[in-house]
Structure 1
Amino acid sequence: MGEIKTWQAMADTNAERLQRTTGRSVEEWVEAARGAGVHSRAALAAWLKPQGVTGYSLMSVDWAMFGYPDFILSSVDELYEGQYADRQALRPIGDRLLAWALEADGVEVQMRKTYISLQTARRKFAQVTPATKSAVDVFMRFARPNDPRAEPARAAKDDPFRWRIRLKTVDDIDDAVLGALTAARDESL
């Protein structure tokens, strides 16, 4: 059975990426930024960008300088409880999908503040989101869904998820839904 990671795992990965791509640690970047007189998040981003430090790498330096958001410091249980705090009737859906992910080969589970991220070593292939008070949305990355309930997802420009299956009860999680998750995983291996 797999383990569930929190945002902290992502923060650690970001710090490693920063070290690998720039040759400097988060602490070295923080020290250099303070030495350059940087005192705000906006100033930090403006100072780091010309040096090629953007995106997740910038987040690492930002959080080290100005403090980590509460969700980074939250445990798996705190994050998961927060997702279903005002929609307990949907929790069995999340529990069932989480159980599948923890038992599936090659799946890494990362708990986020508002969703569960399902990933392979290569990329994120699905996201489980208690989207409304009456439904959990499973967003997936795959070429052609086999489940007729799959509908095009309204995705942001950089969002890899093009399909969504909306689940309203735990009984909606049938072989077709699990097959779609498996297909999305397999296409992402």
Structure 2
Amino acid sequence: MPELKSWREMVDWSAGLLRRSTGEGVPEWNRRVLESGIDTEVELRSWLKEREVTGYAQMLLLMERFGYPEFMAASSDELVDRQYADRPELRPILERLLAEAALLGPMRVQARKTYVALVSPRRTFAIVKATTRARVDLGLRLAGHEPTGRLEGAYSLGNNAITVRIPIASADDIDDETLAWLRDAYTGNL
């Protein structure tokens, strides 16, 4: 099974992005933010946008100024343990999907607060979310594929990039068709 990464990796990546896009690192931007005297998130977002600091770099500076959410301090194992604490019978689904995904090629596995993201060298291609006490959803980024057959709409997964989902009730439900869709999502997002 691939190694799970935590939010720390994303914070470090965002810090590198900030430096690459502005030429300055987090300490310098923190100094500028404090000197600005801005006290609200809305004002800080606007101020940063005026300086062309957007996206993940902006999110990083907002958290630096107003504090990191508690879940960002948790390890990847802690995040996954919390997701499956009240539904341990679903954990084998996650473990099987991660083991199968590892065979696809280079990728990262990132634990989030409510799901696990599977990230190709280019971008997130799938997420695994314990959606109910009886089901895990495998959300897939499959451009051009409408919900049909086993592919259902991914409306409840909270990520517009994830277009469809496959509901899975047990590890035995992970069949050749499921793995083919997972492979298609991976190769389509390289």
Task: Decide: shared fold, TM above 0.5.
Answer: yes
Residue number in structure 1 paired with 2:176: 175
Q: RMSD in angstroms over aligned alpha carbons?
A: 2.2
Are 2:68 and 1:71 aligned? no
Residue number in structure 1 paired with 2:154: 153
* Deviation for aligned residue 1:158: 6.9
* 2:133 aligned counterpart, secondary structure: coil
- How far apart, CA to CA, are the structure 1 residues paired with 2:57 and 2:42? 15
* Deviation for aligned residue 1:67: 2.3
Deviations 1:106-153 (A, max 9, x none): 2211111100101111111111111111111111112448x9311232
* Residues 6, 110 of structure 1: 8 Å contact kept: yes
- How far apart, CA to CA, are the structure 2 residues paired with 1:79 and 1:122? 24
**1:39-50 aligned within 5 A:** 39-50=39-50
Q: 1:158 to 1:42 in 2, by over 3 A?
A: same
**Deviation >6 Å, runs of 4+:** 155-158
* Residues 126, 184 of structure 1: 8 Å contact kept: yes
Deviations 1:72-131 (A, max 9, x none): 111111000011112222111112112223343122111111001011111111111111
* 1:126 aligned counterpart, secondary structure: strand
Residue number in structure 1 paired with 2:108: 108
Residue number in structure 1 paired with 2:130: 130
Mean Cα deviation higher: 116-125 or 95-104: 95-104
How many equivalent residue pairs?
189
Q: TM-score, normalised by structure 2?
A: 0.90
Q: 1:157 to 1:84 in 2, by over 3 A?
A: closer
Residue number in structure 2 paired with 1:53: 53
Deviations 1:141-168 (A, max 9, x none): 12448x9311232278971222110001
* Deviation for aligned residue 1:58: 1.1
- How far apart, CA to CA, are the structure 2 residues paired with 1:75 and 1:111? 8
- How far apart, CA to CA, are the structure 2 residues paired with 1:155 and 1:132? 11
Residue number in structure 2 paired with 1:11: 11
Gaps of at least 5 residues in structure 2 are none
* Residues 155, 162 of structure 1: 8 Å contact kept: no
* Residues 7, 72 of structure 1: 8 Å contact kept: yes
The sequence identity of aligned pairs, in percent, is 41
* 1:122 aligned counterpart, secondary structure: coil
